[in-house]
Amino acid sequence: MAPLKPVHYGPHAQRTRRAWDISPAEVLSALSAPDRLAGGASQRQAFKRIGARHLRVTYMEEPARLVVVAVAKKQTPWGP
C-alpha cells in the first residue's frame, strides 16, 4: 500500500474523536487498512473493526493531505 498522506483533523472530527475516546492510532488504522470503503469523489468513508468497536472515518482527500471530517464508533457493524 502507498504511504499515507499527512492527516489533518477538522474541528468536528477533533471534538468527536475525543468525546468517543477514539485514538489517533485507531483513525490511522482505519485510513491505512480499512475493512471497507464507501463514498464518492468529494468525501469518502473508511470502515474498520477494531476489537469490539466499529469505526467510521469520513474524510476528504486533498493533493497534499487527508482531511478527517468526522469519526464515529458503535458496537454493531455499519450497514451493507
* DSSP assignment of the chain: -PPPPPEEE-HHHHHHHHHTT--HHHHHHHHHS-SEEEE-SS-EEEEEEETTEEEEEEEEE-SS-EEEEEEEEESS----
Tell me the per-residue pLDDT of 10-47, one tens digit each, with 9 for 90 and over: 999 999 999 999 999 999 999 999 999 998 878 999 99
Task: Establish if 1 belongs to a structural domain.
Answer: no
Which domain, by its residues, includes 52?
7-74
Count of domains observed in the chain: 1
Task: Establish if 2 belongs to a structural domain.
Answer: no
Tell me the per-residue pLDDT of 67-80, one tens digit each, with 9 for 90 and over: 999 999 987 776 66
How many other CB atoms are found less than 10 A from the CB of residue 56? 18
Task: Establish if 80 belongs to a structural domain.
Answer: no
8 A C-beta contact, residue 36 and residue 26: no
CATH number for the domain spanning 30: value is: 3.30.2310
Question: How does residue 1 score in pLDDT terms, banded at 50, 70 and 90?
Answer: very low
